[in-house]
């Protein structure tokens, strides 16, 4: 009986809603859902932003920070902070796993190499030569994972 009182277009609306129901968005495939990205950017919103775009498109993104957190956590327009974290970082840190690694130790570098072995893309923002000096340059990482794409972003382009 209740169906008799529904407007004729209600069935069409139900059909459209079933195709575009926001509650079901998590079921939809994402463009980059088969990629793993390591965000090793340090003191750089450029690296954070780059990886957030990939995460937004579905890439599994792992943000690696030093003990105590990255300085970029304190960046914020007008000094607006939420639990000691700046709004800019909250925005660009979304949709990511967050891991603390001390790359000054051999154990930390070994863990990063293990992550890199399973990643598709690694984004880093260190000064030229820093990754190589730590034994984490492209030559070393390519031995572990020859298909790894290394994206090195500097503040100067």
Q: Judge whether 105 lies within some domain.
A: yes
- What are the pLDDT digits (tens) for 53-80? 999 999 999 999 999 988 888 888 777 7
Distance from C-alpha of 47 to C-alpha of 64, rounded to nearest angstrom: 12
The residue length of the chain stands at 157
The pLDDT tens digits for 122-135 are 999 998 899 999 99
pLDDT digits (tens, 9 = 90+) for 103-122: 999 999 999 999 999 999 99
Look at residue 146 and tell me if it is in a domain.
yes
CA distance 62 to 52: 10
Q: CATH number of the domain that 126 lies in?
A: 3.40.50.10540
Q: Would residue 9 count as lying in a domain?
A: no
Distances (CA, A) of 7 to 17, 21, 117, 157: 16, 20, 57, 59
Q: What is the pLDDT of residue 44?
A: 85
Mean pLDDT of the chain: 87
Query: Which residues span the domain enclosing 121?
Result: 31-152
């Amino acid at each position: 009986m209740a169906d008799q009182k529904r407007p004729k277009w209600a069935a069409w609306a139900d059909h459209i809603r079933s195709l575009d129901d926001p509650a079901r968005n998590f079921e939809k495939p994402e463009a980059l859902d088969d990629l793993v990205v390591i965000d090793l950017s340090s003191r750089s919103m450029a690296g954070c932003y780059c990886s957030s775009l990939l995460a937004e498109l579905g890439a599994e993104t792992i943000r690696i920070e030093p003990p105590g957190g990255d300085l970029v956590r304190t960046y914020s327009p007008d000094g607006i902070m939420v639990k000691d974290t700046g709004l800019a970082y909250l925005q660009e840190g979304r949709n990511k796993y967050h891991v603390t690694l001390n790359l000054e130790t051999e154990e930390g570098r070994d863990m990063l190499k293990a992550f890199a072995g399973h990643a598709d893309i690694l984004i880093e923002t260190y000064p030229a030569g820093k990754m190589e000096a730590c034994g984490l340059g492209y030559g070393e990482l390519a031995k572990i994972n020859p298909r790894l794409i290394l994206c090195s972003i500097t503040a100067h382009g």
